[in-house]
Amino acid sequence: MPVGVCFDPLSGDWKLWYASTRERRIPVPGSRGSTLHLAVSRDGIHWEKPGLGALNLQGQSTNVCVWEDGTPVGEAVTVLVDPDDPDPTRRYKLIRYVPNYYLAYSADGIRWRSAQTDPVWCNGAGDGLEETNFFFKDPLAGKFRGYMRVWRRHQTIRKIALGESDDMRRWTGPTILWEAAPHYGTGSQIYGMSVCVDAGIYWGFPWIFFTDEPLDESLRQTMRLRLAWSPDGRQWNALAPEQDIVSPGCRGRDFDWGMMFRPEMVLTPNENRIYYCGCNGLHDGSTPLRAVGMAHWQPGRLVGLKTDDEGILLTRRFLLRGEMLRLNARTGPGGVIRAELLDDNGHIIKGHGRADSDPFIGDGLDQRLTWRGESGLRHYTGRTVMLRLYLVQAEVFGFRQDGRKEAFSTERAAPPVQAGYCRKAPQIDGVLNEECWQDFTHSGVAADFVCFNCPEPAPVKTRALLTRDQDALYLAIECAEPLSDRLTMTRSPGPVNYNREDCLELRFTTPADREGFYCQQFFVTVGGAMEHNRFSKEAGGLGGNIKDPWQAATGVVPGHWVAEVAIPFATFKTPSPAAGERWQMNIIRHRLTPEGYEASCWVSQLGSVHRTDLTGDLVFA
């Protein structure tokens, strides 16, 4: 059965590690009947079993992998490739179960050495270990993850558990995640599960074992490959649980009619593949033939929504960052797809209705959506929108946004800013002549403001200084203003209207806020007007204008205006922060110009008003 598959860009070959128990007995001391072999291929379909020069049998070189002492690698193993390891002798990694988990390294995937004498993961840890397992390096979590089968109810129920490690030497867990029933039907149990990450989603390929309980006799004692998905690799959901992700062969004829298990996924730009073990027998103690099979699909087409007649697909609200939308879909004979773009309230955006939509006909993995020949959506970038598709005999697999790379950068957050202890609290008078604003060893600096809609440099510069003492957080914000002669110190009556007057908006989320509020908001206008609000998680809106005490003062001088602010920690409803405590923070500058309103931020909000995930970190000394 396959225990590891990869395309090796260094050699240009595909590599397949597989375990064999019946190919031939290896009369070498140390062999336990199961041996690890390596096959190679130019296309991943036609495979060769080259002599590797590591172990000879009857005068001929075999494709058997060996340990340092020349004995064959056996037992239950999993092989993975780690090209990011700085040590080339650890490029290939192997976990074996005997019955603890042991780690081994290899420079070529052929000759292996133990990482250490002791197991890296002892049986009995967490919810227990098993020989049915799958390990991979998670590109999203940035760590290694291991999914293994564990037994419950006196070894009558199989479940899936998860362990994690930064280096494959020290592991957490395992912790039980979920089980097959009732998702996959009566008598279903998860024998094991392989996992991969594609387009930010965790895809699970559980191999489901059916006991003698199913009413459908054809399922009894079989093993099928099904599908699951997860947003984080922990919370799993069955997807189309009644459908096989790979159809089994015909009973009595094909090699995989009885059991299909141990899938290995390989994702490439042109094709995605599953290599799996197929058996022409049942899980009833018989000794069937086992062989390796392969299934494949086009990128992004693992799952789709299909209508044989007509249907409407409406997406959730999403932030439009790109400048166009692309669709992965296909239509049947006489089929067509038309698109509508809706605003946050569900209203059709002018010029982007169904009647304006150019028809999508045919088969396209990455087809531009256009309205009257135009695909550009730059004028709507930064807005929250929805996409509505009208389908006639069509299948949709997904859509994506396209545009400038920086608009999609995950490195949107600015470097953390540290608020050090000041020797003496500043006088809040709008004049930045106190020692704390000149002492950069105790004052953090938030600078390099960017546009509200995208992470491009702001048209004018803004800089914020932050410091603290035991009782309060202090800020001094300097706003460059080439048109400072137009500024007025007059306070406008009523609530702050940020798009009608120059002002600063300070947003903070404290550890306490995360329990019930998603941010606290402080406004200071150039005229010195002040406002404090709390945004509720439940209501998604203002929790009321707060009257707790805080101070602010402003001043205007040629070329810029300044604001000086003091906010007691009691006003935040939080104790004085301990050293190292982190708050989420953003500072937004609202500015009026002869051309109209513009906004800039310490961390770009990408056009969305209430995005607390788009913030930077304020770290307390």
Residue 393 placed within a domain? yes
Q: Supply the pLDDT for residue 407.
A: 65
Q: Supply the pLDDT for residue 436.
A: 92
Residue 73 placed within a domain? yes
Residue 517: band (very low, low, confident or very high) from pLDDT cuts 50, 70, 90: low
| Helix/strand/coil for 406 | helix
Q: Largest Cα–Cα distance in the chain?
A: 97
Residues 6+ apart with CB under 8 A from 98: 75, 76
pLDDT > 80? residue 516: no
Specify the higher pLDDT residue, 556 or 29: 556
Judge if 58 and 173 occupy the same domain: no
Q: Supply the pLDDT for residue 152.
A: 75
Residue 127 placed within a domain? no
From 255, 273, 301, give the residue that closes a domain: 301
Q: What's the mean pLDDT when you consider all of the chain? A: 88
Judge if 238 and 360 occupy the same domain: no
Query: With b meaning 16 or more CB within 10 Å and e meaning fewer, what string describes 132-146?
Result: bbbbbbbeeeeebbb
Q: Supply the pLDDT for residue 22.
A: 53
Please give the average per-residue pLDDT across 432-441, as a whole number.
86
Q: Which long-range contacts (CB under 8 A, 24 or more apart) does 190-193 make?
A: 190/149, 190/158, 190/159, 190/160, 191/132, 191/149, 191/158, 191/223, 191/261, 192/132, 192/133, 192/134, 192/147, 192/148, 192/149, 192/160, 192/261, 192/262, 193/134, 193/147, 193/160, 193/228
Give the domain extent around 378.
Answer: 305-406
Q: Supply the pLDDT for residue 32.
A: 59
Residue 125 placed within a domain? no
Q: Supply the pLDDT for residue 394.
A: 98
Q: Tell me, what DSSP letter sits at residue 153?
A: T
Q: Supply the pLDDT for residue 558.
A: 87
Say whether the peptide bond before residue 182 is cis (omega within 30 degrees of 0).
Answer: yes
What is the identity of the amino acid at 117? T
Judge if 164 and 285 occupy the same domain: yes
From 279, 301, 323, give the residue that closes a domain: 301
Residues 6+ apart with CB under 8 A from 609: none
Rounded to whole angstroms, what are the CA distances from 607 to 248, 326, 464?
Answer: 49, 21, 22
Judge if 282 and 146 occupy the same domain: yes
Specify the higher pLDDT residue, 32 or 300: 300
Q: Report CA torsion sign: 484, 486, 489, 493.
A: negative
Judge if 478 and 337 occupy the same domain: no
Residue 544: band (very low, low, confident or very high) from pLDDT cuts 50, 70, 90: low
Q: Supply the pLDDT for residue 125.
A: 58
Among residues 482, 442, 456, 465, which one has the least CA distance to residue 603?
456
Tens digits of residue pLDDT in 398-436 = 999 998 776 665 445 578 899 999 989 999 999 999 999
Please give the average per-residue pLDDT across 529-535, as a whole number.
88
Torsional class of 219: left (φ above 0), alpha (ψ -120 to 50), beta (otherwise): alpha
Judge if 276 and 309 occupy the same domain: no
Residue percentage of the chain with pLDDT more than 90: 56
Which range has the worst mean pLDDT, 304-318, 380-394, 441-455? 441-455
Which range has the worst mean pLDDT, 115-124, 199-208, 564-573? 115-124
pLDDT > 70? residue 613: no
Judge if 402 and 417 occupy the same domain: no
Residue 133 placed within a domain? no
Residues 6+ apart with CB under 8 A from 504: 477, 479, 523, 524, 563, 587, 588, 589, 590
Q: What is the CATH number of the domain that holds 597?
A: 2.60.40.1190
199: number of Cβ within 10 Å: 11
Judge if 401 and 526 occupy the same domain: no
Tokens of 127: 């919810």
Q: Supply the pLDDT for residue 487.
A: 84
Q: Supply the pLDDT for residue 383.
A: 76
β 542-545/530-536 pair status: antiparallel
Tens digits of residue pLDDT in 18-73 = 988 754 554 544 555 688 999 999 999 999 999 999 888 888 899 999 999 988 99
Judge if 293 and 350 occupy the same domain: no
Please give the average per-residue pLDDT across 71-97, as a whole number.
89
From 89, 120, 151, give the residue that closes a domain: 120
Exposed/middle/buried for residue 300 (C-beta within 10 Å: 0-12, 13-18, 19+): middle
Highest mean pLDDT among 32-46, 148-162, 511-525: 32-46
337: number of Cβ within 10 Å: 25
Residue 126 placed within a domain? no
Judge if 151 and 91 occupy the same domain: no
Among residues 517, 547, 552, which one has the least CA distance to residue 534?
517
Q: Supply the pLDDT for residue 28.
A: 47
Q: Report CA torsion sign: 346, 347, 352, 353.
A: positive
pLDDT > 80? residue 455: no
Please give the average per-residue pLDDT across 558-573, as a whole number.
95
Q: In sequence order, what are the beta bridge partners of 506?
A: 522, 587
Q: What is the CATH number of the domain that holds 240?
A: 2.115.10.20
Secondary structure of 514-528 in the HEC alphabet?
Answer: HHHEEEEEEEEECCC
| Helix/strand/coil for 408 | helix
Q: What is the CATH number of the domain that holds 365?
A: 2.60.290
Residue 46 placed within a domain? yes
What is the total count of domains within the chain?
4
Q: Supply the pLDDT for residue 410.
A: 47
Among residues 584, 471, 462, 564, which one has the least CA distance to residue 520?
584
Tens digits of residue pLDDT in 156-180 = 788 899 999 999 999 988 889 988 8
Judge if 380 and 233 occupy the same domain: no
Tokens of 394: 């069509």
Residue 130 placed within a domain? no
**How many Å apart are CA 137 and CA 276, to the nearest integer?**
19
Q: Supply the pLDDT for residue 583.
A: 93
**How many Å apart are CA 77 and CA 134, to the nearest integer?**
9
Place of tokens 């060893």: 441
Judge if 171 and 208 occupy the same domain: yes
Please give the average per-residue pLDDT across 282-298, as a whole number.
86
Contact 381, 322 (CB under 8 A): yes
